[in-house]
Structure 1
Amino acid sequence: MRPLVLTDLDDTLFQTMPKCPPGKEGLRQMSSLLDGSPSGFATPMQQHFLGWLRDGTVVPVTARGRDVLARVAIEQAPAICSNGGCIVGDDGEIDRVWHDRLAEEARRVDPVADVYRAIADPLCTVRFRHWMVEENGLDLYVVIKSNDHDDQALAVLEQELAPRVPKDWRCHRNGNNLAYLPPWLSKRVAVRYLIDRARAEAPDRPVIGIGDSVSDVGFMDLCDFAVVPTRSQLWAAVVDGNGWVD
């Protein structure tokens, strides 16, 4: 039985050019910006890895919105987009049951747009850019990036913004990315929804979760097997203080 492979994308299956090994040849463009310029590249090893994964059913589980996922050279359906804010079915159509469920939960807490204004209005636009991610008319989460790619500046900003963020919201920072998610949104709950449906059809089908970030643990924990790039935020957390790694 072909495994179900639930995988993060950026910094897992490909990365930006500066993150690629110096002088590496055989890179394959995997993603592009809105203007068509290249943005993400897979090393030969990552290309072989993805080829192996395709012996199963590959399902992207990504913070990328559906429109941004469309600019990635990978399977588009099924897929989990926008940190779980949108599920695309096998037929390529949006899962309306999932969308309606999130919309109902969103009505019970602070509107994302209100939190976005509280966070973003005071920010210096010279130093930071920011936006609110939405899918199908539903506001989902907030993203902030440093215009200078200054990871430390985002670390300081995270501390400064903490009093403006509702206590039940989650904050995730990894590299030049600072994201704020409402309590009803996560990759974990979206993956559980897909796994439950897969288990109903085939209880013994192996499910593999792949990710590079500590936030990916939420969905990888639901899978039968977990795969982590060894040059990643998540693996660094795993080996930190581990006496078996010298």
Structure 2
Amino acid sequence: MTPVILTDLDDTLFQTLPKCPPGMDGLRQMSSLLDGSPSGFATPMQQHFLRWLETGTVIPVTARGRDVLARVDIGQAPAICSNGGCILGDDGALDREWHDRLETEARRGAPVEAVYHALTDALCTDRFRHWAVEENGLTLYIVVKSNAHDAGELAVLEQELAPQVPTGWRCHRNGNNLAYLPPWLSKRHAARYLIDHIRTARPDQPIIGIGDSVSDVGFMDLCDFAAVPTGTQLWSHIALGNGWID
């Protein structure tokens, strides 16, 4: 029985051109921007890795929204999009049961739109851009980026905004990305839902989780095996202070 692979995409299976080794030949375009220009590339090693993974069932688990995932050159059914805010079934259709569940949970807490305005209305538009991610009429989470691509600037902003973040909300910062998620939204919640369905149908099917970020641990922890690209945020946390690395 071949495995199911739940995998993050950006900085795991491909990355932007500046993050690729300089002058590397054989890059494969993996994603594009809304205007059609290239945005993500896989190295030859990553291409071989993906082809190996595709001998099983690859399920993207990504912060990308459904429309942004559609611009990635990878199988997208099933898939977990928008940090768990949208699940696509084997046929690519929206999982209405999951969507209805999130709508119900969202009504119990602080409205994401209200938190979005509280956190971002006073931000300098010359320094930061920001938006609230929405799927199928449900506002899910908040994204803030530095216009100067300054990760240090985002780190300072995270500390400044901390007193305004509601109890139970999660903040995730990685590179030029600062995200705020309500308690009912995470890759882990969505992955558990999907894994429960897999286990019911095929109890012994191996499930592998792959990710690059500390936030990916949430869904990787539910899998039977986990893989982490070296040189990433998550691997840095794993390797920090490890006496077996010289």
Category of TM-score, reference length = shorter chain:
over 0.9
1:17 corresponds to 2:17: yes
In 1: Cα distance, 2:224 partner to 2:36 partner: 37
Cα distance, 1:164 vs. partner? 1.1
1:84 corresponds to 2:70: no
Root-mean-square deviation over aligned CA pairs: 0.4
Cα distance, 1:211 vs. partner? 0.1
In 2: Cα distance, 1:11 partner to 1:127 partner: 24
The aligned counterpart of 1:200 is 200
The aligned counterpart of 1:134 is 134
In 1: Cα distance, 2:163 partner to 2:35 partner: 37
Cα distance, 1:76 vs. partner? 1.1
Matches within 5 A, 1:104-119: 104-119=104-119
Cα distance, 1:22 vs. partner? 1.1
Cα distance, 1:23 vs. partner? 1.2
In 2: Cα distance, 1:191 partner to 1:54 partner: 19
The aligned counterpart of 1:165 is 165
TM-score by length of 2: 1.00
1:215 corresponds to 2:215: yes
> Structure 2: which 5+ runs fail to align?
none
In 2: Cα distance, 1:178 partner to 1:64 partner: 14
1:241 corresponds to 2:241: yes
In 2: Cα distance, 1:238 partner to 1:31 partner: 29
TM-score by length of 1: 1.00
> Structure 1: which 5+ runs fail to align?
none
Count of residues in Structure 1 that have an aligned counterpart in Structure 2: 246
In 1: Cα distance, 2:89 partner to 2:162 partner: 36
Runs of 4+ with deviation above 2 angstroms: none
Letter of the 2:134 partner, please give it.
Answer: E
Letter of the 1:187 partner, please give it.
Answer: K
The aligned counterpart of 2:71 is 71
Letter of the 2:117 partner, please give it.
Answer: R
For the residue of structure 2 that corresponds to 1:190, the secondary structure is helix
Q: Deviations over 1:76-114 (max 9, x none)?
A: 110000000000000110000000000000000000000
In 2: Cα distance, 1:231 partner to 1:25 partner: 20
For the residue of structure 2 that corresponds to 1:5, the secondary structure is strand
| Identity score, percent | 77
Letter of the 1:114 partner, please give it.
Answer: A
